[in-house]
């Protein structure tokens, strides 16, 4: 996150009201050992002419140095590239945040553009696969294939997000779908991603 000033409750409310009716801002909960421990955000998702950006937020600062964010990041990236068909991903990182810069470079992001106080990093499926090959193999040996789960709940249908995401889900190759359950007010899908 580039913004570093104090965020007031009023600022938070204003921000939330601006995104609550847009499927171009997505949030993915990181669930581990029965707890919600953080989330990924995706901004400008499939907005023509805009750069899609993503970021990770963790509830507990101690988790930042564990293996959990790495596994969660790999799972989300694999889901975006190899299930949802994305062709590139961007993140913004402050030039002074060496830890975040190294983290993203090790995932396969490359410096795309430098601004005054931050870098824009870009990743493609090819740069991701090339940079993370050994890491993904080690994780698969320990934990198996990545499982990417997506849930559309009644509120998603009420707000009108569901058709957009349902169309994306229907484009996922059937061989990757491990589980799918759909009603008129919910959709749950589990995608088993097996790539080398």
Could you tell me the residue ranges of all domains in the chain? 25-193
- Residue of higher predicted confidence among 3 and 87: 87
| Lowest-confidence segment of 60-64, 101-105, 116-120 by average pLDDT | 60-64
CA-to-CA dists, residue 127 to 31, 77, 79, 87, angstroms: 27, 12, 15, 11
**For residue 183, what pLDDT is reported?**
87
- Stretch (H or E) spanning 40: strand 35-43
98 confidence band (pLDDT: 50, 70, 90): very high
pLDDT at residue 158 tops 90:
no
In the three-class reduction of DSSP (H, G, I as helix; E, B as strand; rest coil), residue 164 is classed as helix
Backbone angles phi, psi at 185, to 5 degrees: -130, 10
**For residue 111, what pLDDT is reported?**
95
Closest CA to 150 of 172, 132, 175, 124: 172
Model confidence, pTM: 0.76
What does the pLDDT average to over 97-126? 92
- Residue of higher predicted confidence among 10 and 146: 10
Backbone angles phi, psi at 72, to 5 degrees: -65, -45
Encoded tokens for 127: 């740069």
**For residue 95, what pLDDT is reported?**
94
pLDDT at residue 67 tops 60:
yes
Which residues on neighbouring strands pair with residue 56, listed in sequence order? 40
Q: Which residue has the tokens 């975040």?
A: 100
pLDDT at residue 114 tops 80:
yes
Query: Which homologous superfamily does the CATH classification assign to the domain defined by 25-193?
Result: Gcn5-related N-acetyltransferase (GNAT) (3.40.630.30)
Closest CA to 171 of 189, 151, 194: 189
């Amino acid at each position: 996150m580039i913004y570093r000033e104090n965020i007031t409750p009023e600022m938070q409310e204003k921000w939330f009201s601006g995104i609550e009716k847009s499927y171009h801002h997505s949030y993915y909960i990181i669930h581990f050992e029965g707890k919600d421990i953080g989330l990924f955000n995706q901004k400008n998702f499939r907005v023509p002419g805009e750069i899609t950006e993503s970021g990770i937020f963790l509830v507990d600062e101690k988790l930042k140095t564990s293996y959990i964010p790495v596994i969660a990041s790999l799972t989300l990236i694999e889901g975006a590239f190899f299930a949802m068909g994305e062709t590139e991903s961007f993140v913004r990182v402050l030039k002074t945040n060496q830890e975040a810069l190294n983290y993203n470079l090790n995932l396969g992001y490359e410096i795309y553009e430098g601004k005054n106080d931050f870098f824009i990093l870009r990743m493609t499926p090819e740069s991701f696969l090339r940079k993370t090959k050994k890491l993904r193999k080690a994780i698969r040996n320990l934990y198996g294939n990545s499982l990417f789960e997506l849930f559309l709940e009644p509120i998603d249908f009420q707000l009108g997000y569901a058709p957009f995401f349902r169309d994306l889900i229907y484009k996922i190759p059937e061989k990757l779908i491990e589980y799918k359950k759909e009603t008129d007010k919910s959709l749950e899908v589990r995608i088993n991603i097996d790539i080398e």
